[in-house]
Chain A
Amino acid sequence: MKPLEGGKISPRQLYTLLVLSNLETTTSILPSLTVAIAGRDSWLTILLAIIAALPLGLLAAWLGRRFPRQTLIQYSPKLLGKPLGFLVGVFYVWFFVHITSLVVRETAVGFNLSVLPQTPPIVLIIILVVLSATTARSGIEVIGRLAESSFVLVLFSVLLTLFLPLNFAHFEYLQPVLARGVLPLLPAVLIPLGLLSEFVAANMVIPYLSEPQKAGRTLFFTVLTSGTVILLFTIIIIAVFNQTAQNLTLPPFQLARIISIGNFLERIEVIVLAVWTVVALIKAAFFMWIGMLGPAQLFNLKGYRELAYPLGIIVIVLAILSYDNFAAAVSFYTPQVWGVYSVTVEIGIILLLSALALLRGKKGNTLRTTEN
């Protein structure tokens, strides 16, 4: 029997995939969410989230390495028993399909707000979903290479939008630090933690790694890199916009709009749009691949590529249903709703499975098998 997914990707490709996936939310909606809740102290919530996410990343990699030939979908029935394990797999897959639809919607709303006000969002959604479904059909190898080849450019553009507005930055706006104490910040930690914990997507990829022994290191540096970028974004947004940042829908875009160096290096916000396009495509493709491979393994299908376009239709519908404007998005992405939901699915599953793997002493077969 042929394996479902025959591709292999390198740890570096996985790293770029995960970092770019995180950058998607970072450059669009995340800063406005944390700043709205935690104000000028929101950079501290990011710091706490990084600290919390680092060991969890190592844990997820450890779990994945314990079952080196299997994806999370395949080893969760082994640990939890068939029905429960199936349920966990369904939640896990649903979560990534849901994120894909949110990513697509975010990007469409972002484009509508910034440059294409007249274009119906459904057109943008369909274009993006068709592109990402086509990419996802090509397998993890293609997605990984796509991420690797665009990584440097995207990171460079992101850093450009981070450092060029520094002449407008007043770092004293970050003071007073913790004027209201740490407690009001804690719920806000869930949001960046939920984003950083998207590394659990790696538990679907670890069996396809060319050097699986590097999984832990990869996840560690993923969290570190994307955490640092989120941290820098938050700090610079507060330093440039102070409290008005709470009022902005797309802070990174506004940050790029404000760039003006010597009256000639300005109006380069289109860089942010380019970044959105690339990272949204990569993130949607990556998570759609999970959304295709997952059900194929859950239901023991013979192939997963055929699921691309049906899944695309589901994603389109979900994206249209998800929200209409940023006000609705902000009331959805609260710690109480989105924070609890994402952290439960991502970290809850990993913690549960790791604990069971440890307690029940189960291990995957390290020999080459036909399980995947």
Chain B
Amino acid sequence: MPLFIPRPGLWLRNGIKILVRLCPENKIKPKESTRGTHPKGDDRRGQRRPVEIVLILAFSLVFMLLSCSGCWDKTEIEDLAILTAWGVDREENGDILASAVIVKPFAVAGKTGEGSAPPERPFWLASSSGRNMLEAMCNFAAFSPRFIFCAHSRFVIFGEETARQGVEKILDFFERNREPRLTANLLVVKDMTAAEFLKSEFEMVPLPPEGGLGLIQNATRRLGTVVNVNLNDFLIALGSEGIEPVAGCFEVIPKRPVPLEGELERKEIIQSPVINGAAAFKDDRLVGWLNRTETRGLQWIRGKVENTPLLVENPMAPPALIGVEVIRANSAVTPSMVKGKPHVQIKIELEGNIEDAQGFFDPKTDPAVLKNIEKRMAAVIEKESEAVLHRCQQELNTDIFGFGATFHRSLPQTWDRLRGNWDTEFPRLEVSLDIKTHIRLSGLAIESIKKIK
């Protein structure tokens, strides 16, 4: 009788049994079970177990080792070109020009020691065209030794012209393909093609997408005059009724190269992006740009302001300014029908701290001064909100606030009547603002600095 009979099925089955038995709880009461089909199984297995374990372990180790390498879907990281941003333009004949920022991993590591070669740019910018996104992406294979892997793409960037022509046909790829993620940020470049835009570099960070991400995060958290929109938000706004999409906006302000004196090797970045404002869409087409004030107005209405500086005139020394840092802002939109006409009530509540005061400022002598500042803050917010409302209602006629969607949510029957002619109703929609502001702290100083005479 041969010593060793390979019985993989048995080993696998027993392997599973033993693995299960390894659970502490199952170990406590192994006798409860009655092994009908193995009347003397327990004893025999008790003697055989060590050998069996070794065989099973050996078999499973070899099996796992062999199966881990994969067959059909084997992907080596060395064969991938890791893409971190997509730039999409339309060419004149309607083809798609897809530009990609691809990381060069060997250059990211950064060998800046003495005697080494001059530092290499850590990314590769490549473009390829096709009749749709898939073809454009596959066309990369014609000249890229590694194939595009876009699961790490952080950005989808459209050129202005492309966005004006409509992006719906491009976006399907990003929803359908298994690699791109819906968390990628969606932005439109002002006055430029995306391919041209991707040539820009950022100060402080070597990889452009990281820089772009940094800009978006900082501007959202500290400045408040931008919108932070990802693909999922955009697709939801595109696919829902009563709301139109917005997207972030990149702009490039050309720089004049300035010679810097000194010994250290310096490279001046000539093209560096600025993030500013927002792109307002109607359906899938870009219809207009919102400037900083209007964008912040939009964010007040949507309740998405995180931190932002709000400047008001100092009531105690009129031309001078008081800087309030808004730390919290919320909004609530309540739709209603007033005399058969749609009406929207927007309630904005915010809190801020005084962080900067010019001129004479002394809340001790006049406690009403803080109330006064709060009123002025409300006035600024009202002005900004009205600016964006006017722009979207009268000029662009696009409901980026989602007022229609609030009607749909709260007054579904009314919305059934409004849905068909929302384009004509929206510009006539009456909006009333109710703004509550509150100053919580006035910083580490009480009065402002003044020269004692």
Which chain B residues (1-43) contact chain A, with CB distance < 8 Å?
9, 12-13, 16-17, 19-21, 23, 25-26, 32-37
Binds B, one of A224-232, A257-265, A359-367: A257-265
Please measure, in the bound complex, the distance between the C-alpha atom of A149 and the C-alpha atom of B18, giving whole angstroms.
12
Closest to A174 in B: B409
**Which residues on the A side are within 8 Å of B20 (C-beta)?**
142, 145-146, 149
B236 touches A242 (CB 8 A): yes
B240 touches A135 (CB 8 A): no
Binds B, one of A2-10, A288-296, A317-325, A345-353: A2-10
A303 interface hit (Cβ, 8 Å): yes
Which chain B residues (228-258) contact chain A, with CB distance < 8 Å?
232, 235-236, 239-240
Residue pairs across A and B with CB atoms within 8 Å: the count is 104
A125-154 near B? 1/0 per residue, CB < 8 Å: 000000100110111011001101100000
B181 touches A244 (CB 8 A): no
Please measure, in the bound complex, the distance between the C-alpha atom of A296 and the C-alpha atom of B358, giving whole angstroms.
90
B36 touches A6 (CB 8 A): yes
Q: How far is the CB of A331 from chain B (nearest CB, A)?
A: 19
**Which residues on the B side are within 8 Å of A173 (C-beta)?**
236
**Which residues on the A side are within 8 Å of B410 (C-beta)?**
175-176
Closest to A172 in B: B409
B183 interface hit (Cβ, 8 Å): yes
B409 touches A243 (CB 8 A): no
A118 touches B73 (CB 8 A): yes
Indicate whether A244 sits within 8 Å of B239 (C-beta atoms), given known contacts A2-B36, A116-B72, A119-B71: yes
Q: How far is the CB of A278 from chain B (nearest CB, A)?
A: 12
Please measure, in the bound complex, the distance between the C-alpha atom of A220 and the C-alpha atom of B20, giving whole angstroms.
26
B189-223 near A? 1/0 per residue, CB < 8 Å: 00000000000000000000000010000000000
The 8 Å CB contact of B178, one of A114, A118, A141, A247, is A114
- Interface residues on chain B, number (Cβ under 8 Å): 36
B182 interface hit (Cβ, 8 Å): yes
B236 touches A6 (CB 8 A): no
A258 touches B36 (CB 8 A): no
B239 touches A242 (CB 8 A): yes
Q: How far is the CB of A2 from chain B (nearest CB, A)?
A: 6
A8 touches B72 (CB 8 A): no
The 8 Å CB contact of A176, one of B73, B182, B239, B412, is B412
B73 touches A115 (CB 8 A): yes
Which chain B residues (311-343) contact chain A, with CB distance < 8 Å?
none
Please measure, in the bound complex, the distance between the C-alpha atom of A263 and the C-alpha atom of B235, giving whole angstroms.
21
Please measure, in the bound complex, the distance between the C-alpha atom of A243 and the C-alpha atom of B13, giving whole angstroms.
45
A313 interface hit (Cβ, 8 Å): no
B236 touches A241 (CB 8 A): yes
Indicate whether A303 sits within 8 Å of B409 (C-beta atoms), given known contacts A145-B20, A244-B235, A244-B239: no
B13 touches A135 (CB 8 A): yes
A210 touches B32 (CB 8 A): yes
Closest to B405 in A: A172
Q: For the complex, would chain B's binding face be called helix, strand, loop or mixed by DSSP majority?
A: helix
A250-284 near B? 1/0 per residue, CB < 8 Å: 00001001101001001100000000000000000
Indicate whether A116 sits within 8 Å of B408 (C-beta atoms), given known contacts A258-B232, A266-B183: no
- Interface residues on chain A, number (Cβ under 8 Å): 50
A113 interface hit (Cβ, 8 Å): yes
A301 interface hit (Cβ, 8 Å): no
**Which residues on the B side are within 8 Å of A123 (C-beta)?**
71-72
A260 touches B72 (CB 8 A): no
Q: How far is the CB of B59 from chain A (nearest CB, A)?
A: 13
B403-420 near A? 1/0 per residue, CB < 8 Å: 000001110100000000
Indicate whether A263 sits within 8 Å of B213 (C-beta atoms), given known contacts A2-B36, A5-B36, A146-B20: yes
**Which residues on the A side are within 8 Å of B37 (C-beta)?**
2, 6, 139, 303, 305
A338 interface hit (Cβ, 8 Å): no
B107 interface hit (Cβ, 8 Å): no
B175 interface hit (Cβ, 8 Å): yes
Q: How far is the CB of A230 from chain B (nearest CB, A)?
A: 22
A190 interface hit (Cβ, 8 Å): no
Please measure, in the bound complex, the distance between the C-alpha atom of A139 and the C-alpha atom of B20, giving whole angstroms.
13
Indicate whether A176 sits within 8 Å of B183 (C-beta atoms), given known contacts A2-B37, A3-B36: no
A240 interface hit (Cβ, 8 Å): yes
A179 interface hit (Cβ, 8 Å): yes
Which chain A residues (136-192) contact chain B, with CB distance < 8 Å?
137-139, 141-142, 145-146, 148-149, 168, 172-173, 175-176, 179
A6 touches B178 (CB 8 A): no
Please measure, in the bound complex, the distance between the C-alpha atom of A308 and the C-alpha atom of B141, giving whole angstroms.
47
Q: How far is the CB of A284 from chain B (nearest CB, A)?
A: 14
Indicate whether A6 sits within 8 Å of B181 (C-beta atoms), given known contacts A172-B409, A241-B232, A242-B239: no
Closest to B10 in A: A134
Please measure, in the bound complex, the distance between the C-alpha atom of A244 and the C-alpha atom of B176, giving whole angstroms.
12
Indicate whether A142 sits within 8 Å of B17 (C-beta atoms), given known contacts A7-B36, A176-B412: yes
A310 interface hit (Cβ, 8 Å): no
Q: How far is the CB of A44 from chain B (nearest CB, A)?
A: 15
Q: How far is the CB of B75 from chain A (nearest CB, A)?
A: 9
**Which residues on the B side are within 8 Å of A115 (C-beta)?**
73, 178
Please measure, in the bound complex, the distance between the C-alpha atom of A263 and the C-alpha atom of B178, giving whole angstroms.
20
**Which residues on the A side are within 8 Å of B9 (C-beta)?**
134
Q: How far is the CB of A110 from chain B (nearest CB, A)?
A: 11
**Which residues on the B side are within 8 Å of A263 (C-beta)?**
213
Indicate whether A8 sits within 8 Å of B17 (C-beta atoms), given known contacts A244-B235, A247-B239: no
B36 touches A242 (CB 8 A): no
**Which residues on the B side are within 8 Å of A142 (C-beta)?**
13, 16-17, 20
Please measure, in the bound complex, the distance between the C-alpha atom of A49 and the C-alpha atom of B73, giving whole angstroms.
40
B232 touches A6 (CB 8 A): no
Please measure, in the bound complex, the distance between the C-alpha atom of A179 and the C-alpha atom of B25, giving whole angstroms.
50
Please measure, in the bound complex, the distance between the C-alpha atom of A179 and the C-alpha atom of B35, giving whole angstroms.
57
Listed by A's residue number, 15 A-B pairs whose Cβ atoms lie within 8 Å are A7-B35, A7-B36, A113-B178, A117-B73, A134-B9, A134-B12, A135-B16, A145-B20, A145-B23, A172-B409, A176-B408, A179-B412, A244-B236, A257-B183, A258-B181
Extra contacts besides A257-B183, A258-B183 (6): CB < 8 Å: A115-B178, A118-B72, A172-B409, A179-B408, A241-B232, A260-B183
Closest 9 CB pairs of A and B: A6-B36, A175-B409, A118-B72, A176-B412, A179-B412, A145-B20, A119-B72, A116-B73, A242-B236
